[in-house]
A and B are shown apart, each in its own frame.
Chain A
Amino acid sequence: MNRLARMAVARRNPGRWHWTDIAAYAYLALGVVLMFGPVLWLGLSSFKTQAGLLEFPPSLLPMSQKEVRIEGQAQPLPLFEVTMEDGSKRVLAQVRRVGIQAQMVDPANPGQIIRVPIDKRTPVREFKLATENYTEPLERFAFMRFLWNSVFVTVVATLITLVINSMAAYALSIYEFRGKTAVMLMVIGTLMIPITIILVPVYLVITELGLVNSLWAVILPGAATPTGVFLLRQYMLTLPRDLIEAARMDKASEWQIYWRIVMPLAMPALAVLAIFSIMWRWNEFLWPLAVLTKTEAYTLQIGLNAFQGELQTQWHYLLAMTVVTLLPVALVFVFLQRFITTGIANTGMK
């Protein structure tokens, strides 16, 4: 125990403890609670029953009242621990409540009704995961549809982004041609134009193309990302030129050089762009909100937002669906945390 305690407080450089070290660990501990707490609470709450969610103060774990099936009763009956008049305690099932009296039965002897004042009973609770929060929305709402829409948008948009951005980056890093500076300036210029300021005209373009309420309306506008072109070009500039010259000598066509030589070599940068694109697309909100008005076309984010308007009182479904929306990102984070953080540290994009 002593060793464990020493291990826990040991620092990399042994020496005197400065008060800032203690403050630092206190800050980090608070950070863990504050950052993880809300998501953990979301996860725990999503497994509570509708009745469990209405409890105040809320219980930490998903607890619900134990129920028992008794012959002759249509519904399962809730179990209570009852303090009898003589002071003994019995576990009884409640048939119905009349005013301040509860009619209860002993599960072992269902024929005999016992009348008990309601303040003499306390519910018997057990740990139970309300998995129906997860399964019911799948049947009752278009949740699967939203999930599919989101997956489709994310995968297709990322593919398009990777192809057209790497093509542009290839042209801008390997060739010298007239107008190159102008194109570079345009790319840099568009870095600064977010969708928020061209919402209305992009909507017009999409309408002219007849794409309103189709998933392509979500996919296309963000496909050519200047950030992506920039990142890939920067990486391709570091590739050895001799390799490309040698391939030209061997009569490889420009297209073959692009996808057989440059693309595989640029894989690290492509992977970073792919990860970012997946995150952007999965989480995108404002533009899909503006352009998708039919429920069938909703992505997960828009669907979830619509639910929170409609299901004000049905938090048990809402929380479970929020967890499902969060899961893919959580998985990506667990496996690829390092690449995302180095990617951000190197490029400053998000």
Chain B
Amino acid sequence: MASDAPIPAAQLERAGAASLFAAPLAALMRLIDWPMQVLQRLIGERRMAYVFLLPNLVFFSLFVFLPLIINFVFSVTGGAGLFPSERPYVGAQQYAYLFDCGSFLDPSSCREDHFWRGVSNTVRFTVFQVTAMVLFSLLTAVVLNMKIRARGFFRAVYFFPVLLSPVVVALTWKWILQRDGLLNAAITSLGGERILFLVDPSWAMFWIVFVSIWAHMGFYTLILLAGLQAIPADLYEAAEMDATPRWRVFWRITLPLLWPNMIVVIVLALIRGVQTFDEVFVLTGGGPGTATLMVVHYIYETAFANQVQNFGLAAAASVVLGVVLFALTLAQLAASRRKGAA
């Protein structure tokens, strides 16, 4: 996703954020200087590349590659042990258990019904969330791209929740949605009845979709806004000369030229949606019952929070999730290649 666009250097130097870290870094670097010189004399200038790569590769192998392999090992072994040597090989048993279903459309017919509850909730959540997210971020980006006053301010308004932590976002909304909260006060003052938003399954699903859009819309809006600003202005000027109606300009010029960015937004939102956990976990705890239990939540509970920690089953579920994410990522790569070609 990284592009070649240079980062505005003059702006960033004013930031001074880097200076907070610059001083301790410089001290560290000076300390390493002498041993590095000795090393370079020993192995030569060109092989220093490997030295520079080493720390990163150690981290990658230890915390990404090795875990990827161990994940498979976990998913084909059983028992309660954490260390692979304590775990007996069981073949595809974990997967068979996970997929043991009467009907895949009905989670309660499955042996591991919580997993399928999670799958079904995650699919529903993702479909609603991505659709609404794309619509609202497109609308917001188009509005922000109009000739409006105080555009920087309004952009900031939509963007700032992106920086809030999921816990803060969830607690902020929990406070508004609770029984005696602001929203219920508004409803009763208009003569309505109080609604227990987080106790009713349909309302709970609605609100986790709403809150996640509230929190992340600014990010997608920015991507679309960047795309809108890249559309040449003379196209619009030509349309204005011809007195083309605005909706037609939107359908015929804006949307087709924005399409590559739209695909990026859709796929990124899908990838994030499938992994939804934080905000939902704090806001509803997966409840009421299992109405908002997500797949990642299931994995977390199975491996860490349940009385009996079932690492094998959690690993098998992670592998399934990983396959889905891999497919989505391939879609993203294909989309961004099209974008590069366009």
Determine the distance from Cα of A57 to Cα of B140 in the docked complex, in whole angstroms: 33
Shortest CB-to-CB span from A284 to chain B, Å, is 8
Q: A183-B57, A194-B325, A333-B163 are in contact. Are A200 and B314 (CB under 8 A)?
A: yes
Complex partner residue of B37 from A11, A13, A255, A344, CB under 8 angstroms: A255
Q: Which residue of B lies closest to A238 (CB)?
A: B6
- A305 contacts which chain B residues (CB < 8 A)? 167, 281-282
Closest residue on chain B to residue A168 by CB atoms: B56
Q: Interface readout for B245-276 with A: 1 if CB under 8 Å, 0 if not?
A: 01000000000000000001000100000010
Asked if residues A36 and B11 are in contact (CB atoms below 8 Å), the reply is no
Instruction: Please report whether the interface of chain B is mostly helix, strand, loop or mixed according to DSSP.
Output: helix
> Of all chain A residues, which has the CB nearest B18?
A271
In the complex, what distance in Å separates the CA atom of A45 from the CA atom of B176?
10
Known: A167-B52, A199-B299, A200-B74. A337 touches B165 (CB 8 A): no
Q: How far is the CB of A272 from chain B (nearest CB, A)?
A: 6
Q: Does A343 lie within 8 Å of B7, measured CB to CB?
A: yes
Contact of A271 among B4, B12, B25, B185 (CB under 8 A): B12
Residue B67, interface by CB 8 Å: yes
Cross-chain contact of A201 among B9, B33, B68, B181 (Cβ < 8 A): B68
Interface bits A227-268 vs B (CB < 8 Å: 1, else 0): 101110011001000000000100001111011000100011
Residues of A within 8 A of B147 (CB): 11-13
CB contact under 8 A between A339 and B12, given known A192-B326, A326-B168:
yes
- With A42-B175, A224-B56, A339-B12 as contacts: A270 and B18 at CB distance below 8 Å: yes
State whether the Cβ of B2 lies closer than 8 Å to any Cβ in chain A: yes
Output the least CB separation between A35 and chain B (Å): 5
Interface digits, A325-342 against B, CB 8 Å rule (1 contact, 0 not)? 110011011011111111
A329 touches B164 (CB 8 A): yes
CB atoms of A163 and B28 under 8 A apart = yes
- A42 to chain B minimum Cβ distance, whole angstroms, is 5
Do B166 and A285 have beta carbons less than 8 Å apart? Answer: yes
Which of the four size classes fits the interface of chain B?
35 or more
Q: Which of A194, A254, A283, A318 is B48 in contact with, Cβ under 8 Å? A: A254
- Contact of B165 (CB < 8 Å), options: A12, A13, A270, A282: A282
Q: Which of A18, A24, A322, A347 contacts B172 (CB 8 A)?
A: A322
B132 at the interface (CB under 8 A from A): no
Alpha-carbon distance between A308 and B168 when the two chains are bound, in angstroms: 11
Query: Whole-angstrom distance between the alpha carbons of A335 and B300 in the complex?
Result: 36
| Most chain A Cβ neighbours within 10 Å, of B6, B83, B139 | B6
B334 within 8 A of A: no
Contact with A along B1-26 (1 / 0, CB 8 A): 11111111101110101101100111
Chain A residues closer than 8 Å to B168, beta-carbon distance: 304, 322, 325-326, 329
The A interface is mostly helix, strand or loop, or mixed, namely helix
Interface size on A, residues (CB 8 A): 128
Q: Point out the residue from B6, B52, B84 that lies within 8 Å of A171, measured CB to CB.
A: B52
Stretch at the interface among B99-107, B113-121, B123-131, B218-226: B218-226
* CB-defined contacts of B64 to chain A, threshold 8 Å: 190, 193, 198, 224
- B33: which of A18, A255, A283 is its contact (CB, 8 Å)? A255
A198 touching B37, Cβ below 8 Å: no
Q: By the criterion CB–CB under 8 Å, are A345 and B53 in contact?
A: no
A234 in contact with B275 (CB, 8 Å)? no
Establish whether residues A203 and B172, one from each chain, have CB atoms under 8 Å apart when the complex forms. Answer: no
Chain B neighbourhood of A31, CB < 8 A:
140, 154, 157-158
Q: B175 — which chain A residues lie within 8 A by C-beta?
A: 41-42, 45, 315, 319
Interface string of A19-49 (1 = CB under 8 A from B): 0110011011001101110110110010000
7 pairs of A and B residues whose beta carbons are closest in the complex: A224-B59, A201-B67, A201-B70, A255-B36, A171-B52, A283-B165, A168-B56
